[in-house]
């Protein structure tokens, strides 16, 4: 799927931005940086960030069991459980109440 062109074109500044930048440059100052975007984490993501700092949450034995099952070709994927969790996550991200 093609989302956009591969050519990168610079975004043109509006006349107001050009005047603001020219005035700041003439005064010897650097143009002010635009404020950065604000990011809000979902409750699930927040829990992941908190648990990432806790080394006791890592289960090396479980990772090894899964890796062995994948290598042996015996790992079973529960598509229904994955789909259910994706729907719950999408509802949470969209701000809908999850039943």
How many domains in the chain? 1
Task: Judge whether 71 lies within some domain.
Answer: yes
Task: Judge whether 72 lies within some domain.
Answer: yes
Q: Which pLDDT tens digit goes with each residue over 39-87?
A: 888 888 888 777 766 767 778 899 999 999 999 999 999 999 999 999 9
Task: Judge whether 52 lies within some domain.
Answer: yes
**pLDDT for residue 95 is more than 60:** yes
DSSP 21-71: HHHHHHTTPPPPPPPPPP----HHHHHHHHHHT-GGG--HHHHHHHHHHHH
pLDDT at 58: 78
**Residue 90 domain boundaries:** 43-94
* Mean per-residue pLDDT over the chain, rounded: 76
pLDDT at 62: 92
Provide, rounded to the nearest whole percent, the portion of the chain with pLDDT above 90.
30
pTM of the model: 0.35
């Amino acid at each position: 799927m093609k989302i956009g062109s591969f050519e990168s074109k610079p975004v043109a500044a509006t006349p107001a931005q050009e005047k603001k930048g020219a005035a700041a440059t003439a005064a010897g100052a650097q143009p002010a940086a635009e404020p950065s975007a604000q990011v809000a984490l979902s409750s699930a993501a927040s829990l992941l960030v908190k648990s990432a700092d806790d080394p006791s949450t890592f289960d090396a034995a479980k990772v090894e069991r899964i890796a062995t099952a994948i290598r042996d070709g015996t790992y079973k994927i529960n598509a229904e459980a994955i789909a259910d969790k994706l729907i719950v996550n999408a509802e949470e991200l969209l701000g809908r109440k999850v039943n």
